[in-house]
Amino acid sequence: MKKSLAVLIVTMIMLAACGPGPGSGSGSIFKEGIVDFINNQYTFTDTVASGTDDSNYSEVYIAENQSIDEVAQAIQNHVEPEKISDKKDNKQVLVYDELFVILTEDEEDSANTMIEVANDRFVRNNYSPSFFQGLLLYSVLNSLLGTNDWDRSQRLKCRNNPELCYGGYSRSGGTFTGYNKAPIRGGSSSVRGGGPGAGK
């Protein structure tokens, strides 16, 4: 009896040792991050440098022949956002942990959707509050951006220095014209954790 039990235990140990290991390709239970998903699904087209910190920038992608509704649904299906704005004036915002995904209609072709991915610091330091009017309440934005009065202080900054305020991506140019710089991957992208522009 003892011998049979010992053989059974040894057999179970050997079977466990032969099972799939961490690198066996059996797959992870975790989905890829939202930035990686957007990078893999859509075409990178541009970057937009921060007006206050040249180490921080947003990344811009294009979804050809896809509406804002279609793109928003695809992104939500992959990772549920913390906040979803209403859609207004051909704009919609999906908010993740310290990350904004901003969808706008392509001004050159209304069949396309532009996707801007920016960390909260880029939004806090550059975006004009008026961009979010009708999309997210200012009280919600203040909370998301970790301030008590972002809307008031940023509105004052925009009034005094309009060239430092960003009204959303425009392929036709403007103060915040992008540089067509390839997105920085790995840990150094400014829209990802751990990079030079990451965090608050």
Query: Which residues of the chain fall below pLDDT 50?
Result: 5, 7-31, 172-175, 177-188, 193-200
Q: What is the pLDDT of residue 174?
A: 44
Q: State the Cα–Cα distance between residues 61 and 90, nearest whole angstrom.
A: 16
- Cβ pair 196, 190 in contact under 8 A: yes
Mean pLDDT computed over every residue of the chain: 77
Phi/psi at 139 (5° precision): -65, -35
pTM exceeds 0.75:
no
Output the pLDDT for position 32: 67
- CA angle 170/46/165 to nearest 5° reads 45
Specify whether the CB–CB gap between 169 and 143 falls below 8 A.
no
Q: Buried b / exposed e across 138-149, counting CB within 10 Å, b at 16+?
A: beebbebbeeee
Tens digits of residue pLDDT in 1-25 = 555 545 444 444 444 444 433 333 3
Can you read off the two tokens belonging to residue 87? 């859609």
Residue-level pLDDT at 52: 72
Domain ranges of the chain: 31-179
Burial 69-85 (b: 16+ CB within 10 A, else e): eebbeebeeebebeebb
Whole-number Cα distances in Å, 44 to 36, 59, 60, 115, 169: 12, 8, 6, 9, 13
